[in-house]
Amino acid sequence: MLGVRSKGIARYIWELCKALDNVLPQAEFFLYCRAPSGLPRISSRWHERVDSSVAGKQLPSSLWAVARVGFLARRDDVSVFWGGTGLVPLAGLRARSVLTVHDLVYNLEPRTTSSRARWAARLFFRASVKRADSIVCNSHGSARRLEAFLGRRTEAVIRPGVSDAFRKKSDAEVLRVLYNLGIQRPYLLAVGTWEPRKGLERLIPAFLGLSSEGLLNGHILVLVGERGWKDSSIAKLVEHGAERICALGFVDDESLAVLYNGADALVFPSSYEGFGIPVLEARACGTRVVATDLPELREAGGRDAIYVPPTEQGIRVGILDALVSNRPGPLQPCEYGWAESARIFSNVLTRLNATSEAART
């Protein structure tokens, strides 16, 4: 998942890796991938291992993760393996393992996933949960759902943070970047891959309805996020509302931070999330947030967000409420940094390493 255009889970993994480098200064790290990631080396203690074998090139990513990576880690004599993408090796691994469970989408919203992802989860996710020596989750909501569905308790909650790019920006910087992107105020913002779970099929009709009724003050809707899966109906809606909708696709962090700053509100109407990083990013920039009323999104949005049912009418009400509400102050860096998350995670890794060393002796 890692790459120069990382998002979601990949963003979580990369930011946590960078923070772990600071809190575990004696550790050596290995990153296993099927192709070069294109990412900068975090430090001299980080080693990218590209699997150049035939299996590495031809196996589907989930099968590669469970059937091939364990042997690569064994070759490097890894003492603790982190399955950051929701799977751990089921063959070849001798090391202790910790699995991050980001969400239970395959249990709660299976219809919103691709058939390949759904089958991979059925075949390997439950086995990974059972195989892992330790489980961590990205939210308390995910931890509760994991125990309810699979009976496995979480050792720690490693909450996402946001990168340094997401902060309050000057008006001059906002105007400059918006001009370069071809965006004019006022606008509402939605961030997420085009796929059924993100709620764009409810947001776009809600927005266009409000606009046609004259209830918005000339706002446009700016969409940030790449095309995903099962998105043909979303594409048709975007085309239908082309005069009022601007689809930017992928944007870098600096541009996204400016878009948060310039928006009158972030609207995040997802039917399910493991956490909801865009909600926290928007809060770090001091942006109003309208989000679906889910326990996981309440962890991300705190008391600042406006929570609504995941319906077209709920979204309409939330947008109107946001536009007449006061803009919240931006979060302080100490409220959303990665350092504390890395410290908690390092305790899990250190404990597993100790048991690994004890077993070897």
Residue 30 host element (H or E):
strand 29-33
Asked if the model's pLDDT at residue 329 lies above 80, the reply is yes
**Per-residue model confidence as pLDDT tens digits over 35-75:** 898 899 999 999 999 998 988 889 988 999 999 999 999 99
CATH 3.40.640.10 matches 9-161+338-360: no
- pLDDT at residue 356 is higher than 90: no
Q: Name the CATH superfamily, with its identifier, for domain 171-335.
A: Glycogen Phosphorylase B; (3.40.50.2000)
pTM of the model: 0.91
Least confident of 130-139, 220-229, 326-335: 326-335
Return the ∠ at Cα 239 (arms to 227 and 258), rounded to 5°: 60
Question: Which segments of the chain does DSSP mark as H helices, in order?
Answer: 9-23, 54-58, 61-67, 69-75, 105-108, 115-120, 126-131, 140-150, 171-181, 200-212, 232-240, 253-262, 277-284, 295-301, 312-323, 339-360
Confidence of residue 351 (pLDDT cuts 50, 70, 90): very high
Percent of the chain with pLDDT over 70: 98
115 vs 9: which has the higher pLDDT: 9
Instruction: Quote the mean pLDDT of the chain.
Output: 93
pLDDT band at 360 (very low <50, low <70, confident <90, very high): low
Q: What is the largest CA-CA distance in the chain?
A: 73
pLDDT tens figures, 51-62? 989 888 899 889
pLDDT at 333: 74
CB 305 within 8 A of CB 265: no
Domain boundaries, the chain: 9-161+338-360, 171-335
**Distances in Å between the alpha carbon of 22 and those of 18, 45, 279, 346?**
7, 11, 26, 10
As given in the structure block, the two tokens for residue 103 are 């969400």
One fold for both 9-161+338-360 and 171-335? yes
For 181-195, what is each residue's pLDDT tens digit? Answer: 999 999 999 999 999
Confidence at residue 55, expressed as pLDDT on a 0 to 100 scale: 84
pLDDT beyond 90 at 4: no
Q: Predicted confidence band at 114 (pLDDT cuts at 50, 70, 90)?
A: confident
> Tell me, what's the pLDDT at 361?
60
Under the banding of pLDDT at 50, 70 and 90, the label for residue 169 is: very high
Helices then strands, counting H and E runs in the chain, come out as 16, 12
pLDDT in tens, 277-303: 999 999 999 999 999 999 999 999 999
Residues 255 and 233: beta-carbon distance below 8 Å: no
